[in-house]
Structure 1
Amino acid sequence: MAQNDFFVWKQYPSIPDSVGFAGSYAGVSQGVLLVGGGANFPDGIGPWGNTKKTWYDQVFVLDDPAGQWREAGKLSRRMGYGISVTWNDRVVCAGGADGDRHYTDVWTWQWSNGKLVTDTLPSLPHPLANTTGAILNNTLYVIGGLANPADTASQNIVWSLDLSMGKNAKWQELDPLPGPARMLAVAGVQDGYLYVFSGVELYFDKTTEKAQRRYLKDAYRFHPPGGGWEAVTDLPHPVVAAPSPALTSGQSHLLIFGGDDGQLASRVMELKGDHPGFRRDILAYHTITGTWSVMGQVPESIDEKVKAPVTTPLVVWNGSVVLPGGEAKPGVRTTHVLSATPQSPSGTFKALDWTVVGIYFLVVIGISVYVSSRMNHSTGDFFLGGQKIPWWAAGLSIFGSKLSALTFIAIPAKTYATDWVYIFSNFMIVAVVPVVVLFFLPYFRKINITSVYEYLAIRFNKNVKLVGSLTFLLFQAGRLGIVIYIPALVLSTVTGVNLITCIVLITIITTAYTISGGIEAVIWTEVMQVTVLLGGAFLCFYFISDSVGGMDVIFSEAAASDKLTMANWGWSITEPVLWVVIIGNFLTQLTVYTSDQVVVQRYLTTPTLQEAKRSVYTNALLVVPATLIFFAVGTALWVYFRHNPALLDPHGRTDNIFPWYISRQLPAGLSGLVIAGLFAATMSTISSSMNSIATVATTDFYKHFRPQSTDIQRFRFARWTTLALGALGILIAVWLVFLKNSSIWDQYLKLMGMFGGCLAGMFIGGIFVKSINSIGILIGFFLSVIILYFVQAGNWIHFFLYPGIGIFGCVIFGWVFSRIFPGRSEMTKAG
């Protein structure tokens, strides 16, 4: 076994041949590794030995990395040097040669009930070998190659075959690859693009009257279905015949293992068996910054005879890269099967970092102890802080409650990966605040509510209130596990602390201060947390700027690459063009600031209406500089890693770029401060959700079903509910750890997210349309949910516009059905 920063290398059982094969076909089906065909020189010496190049048709299967190879079947003919790619539990193979001719064959392998099943697909338009290819969106792409063994010029053809159509598919000829025609290139796919790297141009030299090779290091990408080819950054050196397709790693890297750089191509016959072999570098192309770096090497320490192979497929089997056989030196095969298991090194926290984080936790605990010592055991104090919270603290708390750890991670990541187009999504809070202050806030303060959904009972009836409250509870309870799990995952990676330990530690401390101090403890810890959060982000930006040469460098490089674009123009409803961003996010923020208990509850904690208004404006004023800081951090990260691509994690997710930088590049102490900020954002979101859920559960359900209960009984119920929520959050988050896939929860949250706009529609309809009654608003609510479900499923509009569907659908349907089912509108003086 050998290990470097990003891979652990092993050897699997050797190919069952005394020499090995180059140009084989390989892939995975039903969890087994299939390798077949190829060619060798039987004496193992190469073309200068005593045997001629021989072609093979055997297909071998390996069930388990610790098992043994066995013969599984045969090809239709002896051949090799075509394409093989795994797709939908099958191996798709195309083209090839046998020394005398090239072929148009296209077929699939599938392992079924312990047997190899071969099926044919439409043949290539003409014979081809030494080509490359990859599969993107169920379409096989074939690029370059040679049409005949005697050809003196390579090809620049690009063909595609939609594999989802089976035998009814037809080959399409696409725009040719730019640059020189080539063979033995490397293809790859990443983030919706098809990439082609390097290769060798075969051309006829009139001077020597022979075919010559020119080694290439240019690269191109293609965005189907309608996009054309565009050049990307050249490689540092050629990687001819490297294992293909390139490894799609993480969300933004393509890795190429070894390859022939052509440096010794003219001396092959001179060196013969003394040739040192091909390059061992693992080249990484980063699609976001357009940069190349070396991310390790194919090791020789496993076995002194192991070399980095060429002319072999790259296969991903059980999460590991497999290089089965291939050519170890020119003409010399290998039987070795190399395996590389990806790994991402965890961050290391120093003593000073832990000291900073420890101080943060002590301050949180101290605030909790102090507030709880002053709190009366009443629901008024637990839910509203006795309405004695100063406006500036309430404003900071509103800001902190919506700036979650996901935001702390996601905004810089989005800007790093794209541009500043989404900046208006946050700025729309400023536009929404006057509407909230003028129309909604007076209602909520005037009717003296604790839960915002009590308004629905006053305006309509208790059934409408219960629907609104239940919608909020289901969404927040389901979301709780996610907002614990994802930040804990990041914190575990950064600090090296066990993931489950992070989950339990964060949740226990947050639950403890939420139970002991209620909303007042939540608000005052959020005041401190916002300070730590913004301070840490600002210091990060300063440190990154200093390391790359200043802010001028950051913004000049970003501007030159269109990374500061703030608006996409057009009238599309499916893309984030300017009008979609502005209108969609105005309605999104209107939804949050009018119907989300987490936010509205803070309006009610101040002594007066005027102070409540000031708190809302305080939040709006904070949004602008905070948004600028986080967007600037994202841009700074792009510039930093553009200068230092080798410092990236090739297996990482784009969303982890900020924590990755924090853990690997910040000095001791500052790293601890920023991670404390990440803790702060996580705990702020958790505590806000817990207290708001407890408020709604107690006010809208416990009090509804137990109207004779005393205030102290409701207070105790709220505390026990908070404790139960902490336990529930831990259980969901730990379950996600073992599930190792949050997609189920992503879909759940996407479904529940549909209800947000519809819920806001209830409030907007109740305040602005006096004729809407309870029957109409309930029908409007559920019809809007159904419509929004189909809109999401069909991807008919950009997701920014979903709240608009919910709001307007609820109001319009509510008005229509109120006329169909007339009755009193239940409008009160307060409404």
Structure 2
Amino acid sequence: MSVIDWLILSGTLLLIVGIGVWKSRKDKELDGFLRGGNEASWWTIGLGVMATQASAITFLSTPGQGFADGMEFVQFYFGLPIAMIILCITFIPLYYKLKVYTAYEFLEKRFDVKTRTLTSFLFLVQRGLAAGITIYAPAIILSTIMGWNLKLTCMVIGVLVIIYTVSGGTKAVNVTQKYQMVIIMTGMFLAFYILLDSLPGELGFRDAWELASLHGKTQSIDFSIDWNNRYTFWSGITGGLFLALSYFGTDQSQVQRYLSGQSIRQSQIGLMFNAIFKIPMQYFILMTGVMVFIFYQFNLSPLFFNPAGEEIVKTSDYANQYSNLEREYEEIHLEKAQLSQEYLKSGDENIGTEIQSLSQQQLQLREEAKSLISQADPVAETNDKDYVFIHYIINNLPIGIIGLLLAVIFSAAMSSTAAELNALATTSVIDIYKRLLKQNQSPSHYLKASKLWTLFWGLVAILFATFGTLVENLIQLVNIIGSIFYGTILGIFLAAFYIKWIKANAVFVSALIAESIVIYLYFTTDIGFLWFNIIGCGLVISFALIYQFFENLGKPVIQNQ
């Protein structure tokens, strides 16, 4: 990286931290630290909600998803607008009416303290894991591509977040997320413009989209019914709906964003802002990945995008075999690049068929390359989707823009991590520490405890990040973890909101059983992870209804005795 890139990157990050500390410097009250003094406007809430969800994983993995599989991942978000409407009508007015700090306080009022504690514990487990991943995800990729020390990169991201989150709490998170989203979207639009500008000759977006369609990258809706297919219209509109309801309605990292609003109306508008713009934003990010794919139809891409994997195989006994694959890959690329230009000029279907055949040959070569890497090192990660976009950034963008795009990745990591640490600390203090351990203390005591818990969870996230492992796809990993827990949590909340007949013991026992079944199914079946949101939620409600029915049957007998 050039000196200019380093200056832009470091200057952007320091500016964000400085703004967070400066804007929240006067807040010394517990309410200000945990709810931002209820000063957030609708657009602050809307941007904060989007920034919390749009972690660095989104801007690293989603373009890679578009590059590899096209636009179908956008179906994951189809249930989100419906979820936002339900939340605006039901959840937000109730939370404001009860004047809660966390979503889980409501559960004690509706059920009992053990149900509140169980639900907050499930949240702490899954969100604590996710906080580590949101730090680890950009760190592992940046350290691999840039040659940075992994642990040091994790520590830099974590420490920067801890500084302003401990200092200012919710207000600092809200303030910084506005600027982070501006940086993020500016960087992504610049990357997209440069991608289109770098296409050869007179090729424009329409030509690029036509070529992407030839390769099967433009289909965004799949109406097939397949339980093992992660991304279809039906899994998105159902499983995605339940996941969105759980995440935005019961996950404290999101609830805390709109509980800081000036009013119910401001919070509702903020969520509807997210309902309107979230799908187009994800579509645009996926489309950026598709354009990266088109860019590499005319510019040679590496056989394997992860440099660590390349180094493993090139220093092994399989180096010559890998070199032969690279040469064959390059020969096919040159032929395909020429045919691609001819196809766009003529529209000849025969040329299109030949291009598709060459692409299949390249995919086969990539699979052979991954096989060689696995033979050289059986524990090496052979999925390189998450490295596609950062490889493009580092090797093809001009000086200055590289620094800005790296700032985008860091900003996204910081915004989502800050919201997670803020929520973890709030839940730890309000639902565990204050409720079960230290009751009737002064507000200043709980303010100090909140800052200490923020520091604690920040250190836990950094520790987890430094010992993390890369899996198939980072954005999928976060959603998988969420889906394992969110269904159960949502089932508890839906029973609390809509089924007054269900009582505390029924929902508590049912939640334990449902969560156990979901975890068992995850490890023993190939069910697409989005369905676990429906399964977990359905099991909680079903078991609770059955339990309550038999409990009610037994009551007259006990009374007669």
Which of 538, 545, 557 is matched with 1:815 structurally?
Answer: 545
Match of 2:407 in 1: 676
Match of 1:641 in 2: 296
Match of 1:413 in 2: 64
Q: Distance in 2 between matches of 1:374 and 1:617?
A: 31
2:72 partner SS = coil
Which of 43, 46, 54 is matched with 1:395 structurally?
Answer: 46
User: Would you say the 8 A contact 1:574–1:797 is kept in 2?
Assistant: yes
> Which residues in structure 2 correspond to 1:157-168 (within 5 Å)?
none
Match of 2:373 in 1: none
2:228 partner SS = coil
- CA change 1:820–1:660 in 2 (3 A) is same
- Please, which runs of 5 or more residues in structure 2 have no aligned partner? 308-383, 555-561
Residue 747 of structure 1 deviates from its aligned partner by: 9.0
Residue 815 of structure 1 deviates from its aligned partner by: 1.5
- The structure richer in strand per residue is 1
Is 2:420 the partner of 1:689?
A: yes
1:562 partner SS = coil
Match of 1:658 in 2: 389
- CA change 1:803–1:371 in 2 (3 A) is same
Match of 1:625 in 2: 280
Match of 1:771 in 2: 501
User: Would you say the 8 A contact 1:483–1:685 is kept in 2?
Assistant: yes
Is 2:91 the partner of 1:440?
A: yes
Residue 502 of structure 1 deviates from its aligned partner by: 1.2
Which of 169, 181, 200 is matched with 1:530 structurally?
Answer: 181
User: Would you say the 8 A contact 1:422–1:581 is kept in 2?
Assistant: no
Match of 2:341 in 1: none
User: Would you say the 8 A contact 1:519–1:691 is kept in 2?
Assistant: yes
Residue 426 of structure 1 deviates from its aligned partner by: 2.0
Is 2:225 the partner of 1:571?
A: yes
Deviations 1:627-674 (A, max 9, x none): 122011011011111222345645451111011111111111111111
Q: Distance in 2 between matches of 1:749 and 1:602?
A: 20
Q: Distance in 2 between matches of 1:406 and 1:747?
A: 10
Is 2:186 the partner of 1:455?
A: no
> Which residues in structure 2 correspond to 1:726-741 (within 5 Å)?
726-736=458-468
Q: Distance in 2 between matches of 1:490 and 1:477?
A: 21
Residue 469 of structure 1 deviates from its aligned partner by: 0.7
Q: Which has the higher contact order (CA 8 A, sep 6+)?
A: 2
Match of 2:318 in 1: none
Match of 1:780 in 2: 510
- CA change 1:559–1:753 in 2 (3 A) is closer
Which of 607, 613, 620 is matched with 2:262 structurally?
Answer: 607
Is 2:351 the partner of 1:700?
A: no
Q: Distance in 1 between matches of 2:220 and 2:114?
A: 44
Which of 345, 349, 363 is matched with 2:15 structurally?
Answer: 363
Residue 543 of structure 1 deviates from its aligned partner by: 0.6
Match of 2:211 in 1: 557
Deviations 1:488-535 (A, max 9, x none): 112223443322221111111110000111111111111111111111
User: Would you say the 8 A contact 1:554–1:635 is kept in 2?
Assistant: no
User: Would you say the 8 A contact 1:475–1:749 is kept in 2?
Assistant: no
Q: Distance in 2 between matches of 1:396 and 1:651?
A: 32
The TM-score with structure 1 as length reference comes to: 0.55
Q: Distance in 1 between matches of 2:20 and 2:265?
A: 28
Deviations 1:19-58 (A, max 9, x none): xxxxxxxxxxxxxxxxxxxxxxxxxxxxxxxxxxxxxxxx
- CA change 1:659–1:462 in 2 (3 A) is same
Match of 2:118 in 1: 467
Which amino acid counterpart does residue 365 of structure 1 have in structure 2? V
Which of 711, 716, 724 is matched with 2:448 structurally?
Answer: 716
The TM-score with structure 2 as length reference comes to: 0.80
Q: Distance in 2 between matches of 1:373 and 1:787?
A: 47
- CA change 1:636–1:756 in 2 (3 A) is same
Deviations 1:392-426 (A, max 9, x none): 11110011001111111121111110121221222
Please say which structure displays the higher CA radius of gyration.
1
Residue 823 of structure 1 deviates from its aligned partner by: 10
> Which residues in structure 2 correspond to 1:741-756 (within 5 Å)?
753-756=483-486
Residue 752 of structure 1 deviates from its aligned partner by: 7.0
Match of 2:326 in 1: none
Residue 790 of structure 1 deviates from its aligned partner by: 3.0
Aligned positions, number? 471
User: Would you say the 8 A contact 1:536–1:677 is kept in 2?
Assistant: yes
Is 2:243 the partner of 1:592?
A: no
Deviations 1:306-355 (A, max 9, x none): xxxxxxxxxxxxxxxxxxxxxxxxxxxxxxxxxxxxxxxxxxx1111111
User: Would you say the 8 A contact 2:34–2:101 is kept in 1?
Assistant: yes
Identify the range of structure 1 (471-480 vs 513-522) with the bigger mean alpha-carbon deviation: 471-480
Match of 1:121 in 2: none
Residue 806 of structure 1 deviates from its aligned partner by: 0.9
2:40 partner SS = coil
Identify the range of structure 1 (426-435 vs 746-755) with the bigger mean alpha-carbon deviation: 746-755
Which amino acid counterpart does residue 625 of structure 1 have in structure 2? P
Q: Distance in 2 between matches of 1:501 and 1:628?
A: 33
Q: Distance in 1 between matches of 2:253 and 2:470?
A: 28
> Which residues in structure 2 correspond to 1:215-230 (within 5 Å)?
none
Residue 750 of structure 1 deviates from its aligned partner by: 5.3
User: Would you say the 8 A contact 1:469–1:700 is kept in 2?
Assistant: yes
Q: Distance in 2 between matches of 1:527 and 1:649?
A: 36
Q: Distance in 1 between matches of 2:247 and 2:470?
A: 28
Residue 749 of structure 1 deviates from its aligned partner by: 9.1
Q: Distance in 2 between matches of 1:617 and 1:650?
A: 38
Q: Distance in 1 between matches of 2:80 and 2:301?
A: 39
Q: Distance in 2 between matches of 1:631 and 1:754?
A: 25
User: Would you say the 8 A contact 2:38–2:262 is kept in 1?
Assistant: yes
Deviations 1:356-399 (A, max 9, x none): 11221232122123223221x22201110010111111110011
1:481 partner SS = helix
Residue 541 of structure 1 deviates from its aligned partner by: 1.0
Which amino acid counterpart does residue 214 of structure 2 have in structure 1? A
- CA change 1:450–1:424 in 2 (3 A) is same
Deviations 1:658-708 (A, max 9, x none): 111111111111111111000011001111111000000110111112112
Q: Distance in 2 between matches of 1:569 and 1:452?
A: 35
Residue 789 of structure 1 deviates from its aligned partner by: 2.4
Residue 787 of structure 1 deviates from its aligned partner by: 2.2
User: Would you say the 8 A contact 1:400–1:684 is kept in 2?
Assistant: yes
- The structure richer in helix per residue is 2
User: Would you say the 8 A contact 2:107–2:115 is kept in 1?
Assistant: yes
CA RMSD of aligned residues (A): 2.2
2:530 partner SS = helix
Match of 1:725 in 2: 457
User: Would you say the 8 A contact 1:775–1:821 is kept in 2?
Assistant: no
User: Would you say the 8 A contact 1:478–1:749 is kept in 2?
Assistant: no
Which of 82, 104, 128 is matched with 1:477 structurally?
Answer: 128
Q: Distance in 2 between matches of 1:582 and 1:643?
A: 37
Q: Distance in 2 between matches of 1:479 and 1:794?
A: 23
Deviations 1:72-106 (A, max 9, x none): xxxxxxxxxxxxxxxxxxxxxxxxxxxxxxxxxxx
Residue 486 of structure 1 deviates from its aligned partner by: 1.9
> Which residues in structure 2 correspond to 1:128-207 (within 5 Å)?
none
Q: Distance in 2 between matches of 1:398 and 1:741?
A: 26
Which amino acid counterpart does residue 776 of structure 1 have in structure 2? A
Tell me the percent identity: 25
Which of 131, 135, 140 is matched with 1:489 structurally?
Answer: 140
User: Would you say the 8 A contact 2:13–2:411 is kept in 1?
Assistant: no
1:422 partner SS = helix
1:365 partner SS = helix
Q: Distance in 2 between matches of 1:748 and 1:669?
A: 31
- CA change 1:607–1:819 in 2 (3 A) is same
Is 2:169 the partner of 1:518?
A: yes
- CA change 1:355–1:447 in 2 (3 A) is same
Q: Distance in 1 between matches of 2:93 and 2:192?
A: 40
